[in-house]
Structure 1
């Protein structure tokens, strides 16, 4: 009996187990390769990551430390800015003091300032300890992160607002950008708190989001990332708005009564930072594990990104777009949706193409091929599956129509095997092969039996 069990336990895994293991490994390899472009893009870039005291309560602090460690290991220069609102509230309760606000700021008298100093110092030390971990069998094994703090933020008093003396509530007066950049250049992680000192030696309680905004602008950060109590900005129905221009985000702050408390504080800072030159501002939730990595290393992201201008650009194609075009149309060529085009043909005909570029990646394309007698073909209209709901196909069609009109084209035609109804809904009508220009009719592929659709311009 024991020998039999010994044989079973030492036996090789069954075919099903091998299959599952192989599939898991293949999935891992595919995922690992998919993040490589982001690793290459982000190496040497500067990110400011800002979060309030709630984001580091409980297990969230550990996972945040793990993810920050991974970003540092990938060569990203990091500045962390932390708040301590719930920790300050706890200190005030323990000392029997009332928490008082006026507008966006905490009214900070001398007694409240002592509570702020104790709470902020406690959070700072906790974060420093978490970022210094190196236990085996954890994501921080074999890592060494040098955490640097200092008097990088010079503060000034907010003063009197609406007749209310805010006392030790402060605002950012100056950021020592040179000092921060020097530390980042040495490979150190800079950790900033929601406190600053004035040239007279006084300490002031600052709004964490304002410290993050001022720091990101001063050092020319590539990204400013806010971890919030919401998964991102949403519309009134709760639908996530995954992209916003600064103008759209500003409008949302004026009408968005439904926005969470964090978003009401963070969005104005995000708008100002974006307009002041910060490349991307992200607002993501902290409640779900791994949101920081999901936002940065996946095409679709999980939160809201705010940019000065739209991430989408509709433009004429350039020779350096060849690689992106091939990546876009190859899957459609393989399944027979598009006719295969060789690379050298694309290179010769690149001037015929228009593309939609999303955040530097080509996600749509279309081409215009003129023929005689005022006719032209709309060809190779393709949009990446993840971006089809944004109307890029129609945008490309309209751009090709505009180019055709400018060239004196009177009739546009398209050959398609699977999208005839899409074109018919946009003004095309089904025709016969005989109505094609002679040059096109002679090379018509009888095996594909593409439908011929035409539209007068």
Structure 2
């Protein structure tokens, strides 16, 4: 019964993510290693589920190990320069053979509809074509790359038409030139430029690891593109990782959200997309608005935000002296050196609970989910402190907190120390949120 209850709870909690992802465009890239892995069948099932939930999907596959095997079978010695294959006429036939076979294999998996399987009733329509225009790399460091190329253009209108027809698009690591030539491309190059051209909502890159690992081998769950650059300095070997290099390029050309997930871990894609903590690494663009822990120099900025709200009775009045004493409880959002939003967390460790207070945004910067992001940040911090719940007291913003998942509770439900300080004259309502 417990397992069933956990499943129902997880399914309900996934609803906001289902709503958020519906109608969005995702570009998924997996190398030939992923296609050859035993878990790839499960990834296909998860892709089918995303399609059923209304996500618009473009799949980009690689084929390096499959190409390498065909080159070896042909008795040819591969040549690489800067980790790129030098593709001559014979190797080009190996490239097209491997890419075509893999594409057919992926199409076959997506076409399954056997009863009692996750694919039953999916009726997925898959398409592929000459959507990628390429150009030759040419001669680099004196090396002629021959038929190895790079993306020149993505046919965005044609891809959008297929997506509008509810088709899943499969792109192979092959491009075509206006002169009728065929070029061997990297899947990373195709995926990054496709995501950028379509302004995709997400670029998801499958990797052999959990995601991006720090120098201690620990998973980095969320970071900005600049943090990836920092990891490259700390870990020079990462420069040899084509997936990490694709992340760097994605940041350079302006892709907002990029995910790294494991192709070996069953369910990693769904966990990354439909749970709060995810399973891999989310990389985002650097925000010119930064979250910071407040210090004594920020008291003036805090007062500028909260004093007008105190005058209206929205917030409980706090003196400068009190703010100075409690400044370490505050998180602030800073824009060009100006405090534009704030909120505070006061923990009650004995009751494993915490109060979130003084959630406020400068009137010129309301909107853009600033308060929501601050609230989420403090809830995350409360979890890290081992708290099971957080509560708020409010007189005029009850509906907003209810929209964020808070449920009205009784004053008697609050920690004893907080009940003793309750101001009956203000008659604030209490709202509680369980942190699960």
**TM-score, length basis structure 2:** 0.71
* Cα distance change, pair 232–75 in 1 and its aligned pair in 2 (3 A): same
Unaligned runs of 5+ in 2: 293-301, 310-343, 391-413, 426-436
**Candidates 273, 287, 290, aligned match of 2:264:** 287
Equivalence map 1:162-173=2 (5 Å): 162-173=141-152
Question: For each residue in 1:196-246, what CA deviation from the matched residue of structure 2 results, as whole angstroms up to 9, or x when unmatched?
Answer: 011110100001101000000000000000001221111221111112211
1:299 aligns with 2:276: yes
The alignment partner of 2:47 has SS state of helix
Whole-Å separation in 1 of the counterparts to 2:70 and 2:371 = 47
Whole-Å separation in 1 of the counterparts to 2:62 and 2:416 = 54
Cα shift at 1:270:
1.7
Whole-Å separation in 1 of the counterparts to 2:242 and 2:417 = 46
Equivalent in the alignment of 2:165: 186
1:55 aligns with 2:27: no
Equivalent in the alignment of 1:117: 96
Cα shift at 1:162:
0.2
Question: For each residue in 1:12-56, what CA deviation from the matched residue of structure 2 results, as whole angstroms up to 9, or x when unmatched?
Answer: xxxxxxxxx3x2322221111010010000000000000100001
Whole-Å separation in 2 of the counterparts to 1:275 and 1:388 = 36
* Cα distance change, pair 64–312 in 1 and its aligned pair in 2 (3 A): farther
**Candidates 262, 271, 285, aligned match of 1:308:** 285
Question: For each residue in 1:352-391, what CA deviation from the matched residue of structure 2 results, as whole angstroms up to 9, or x when unmatched?
Answer: 899x9699583245xxxxxxxxxxxxxxxx65544559xx
* Cα distance change, pair 199–254 in 1 and its aligned pair in 2 (3 A): farther
Equivalent in the alignment of 2:78: 99
Task: Give runs of ≥4 in structure 1 deviating > 6 Å.
Answer: 314-318, 331-334, 356-359, 416-420, 440-444
**Candidates 229, 240, 244, aligned match of 1:250:** 229
Equivalent in the alignment of 2:109: 130
Whole-Å separation in 2 of the counterparts to 1:88 and 1:170 = 16
Q: Is the 8 A contact 2:353 2:415 kept in 1?
A: yes
Q: Is the 8 A contact 1:100 1:106 kept in 2?
A: yes
**TM-score, length basis structure 1:** 0.68
Whole-Å separation in 2 of the counterparts to 1:312 and 1:37 = 25
Whole-Å separation in 1 of the counterparts to 2:360 and 2:32 = 53
What root-mean-square deviation, in Å, do the aligned CA atoms of Structure 1 and Structure 2 show?
Answer: 3.7
Whole-Å separation in 1 of the counterparts to 2:155 and 2:415 = 61
* Cα distance change, pair 154–173 in 1 and its aligned pair in 2 (3 A): same
Whole-Å separation in 1 of the counterparts to 2:282 and 2:56 = 20
Aligned residues: 345
Equivalent in the alignment of 2:376: 363
Unaligned runs of 5+ in 1: 1-20, 319-327, 366-381, 394-415, 421-432, 434-439, 445-457
Equivalent in the alignment of 1:207: 186
When Rg is computed on C-alpha atoms for both structures, the one with the higher figure is 1
Equivalent in the alignment of 2:338: none
The alignment partner of 2:197 has SS state of helix
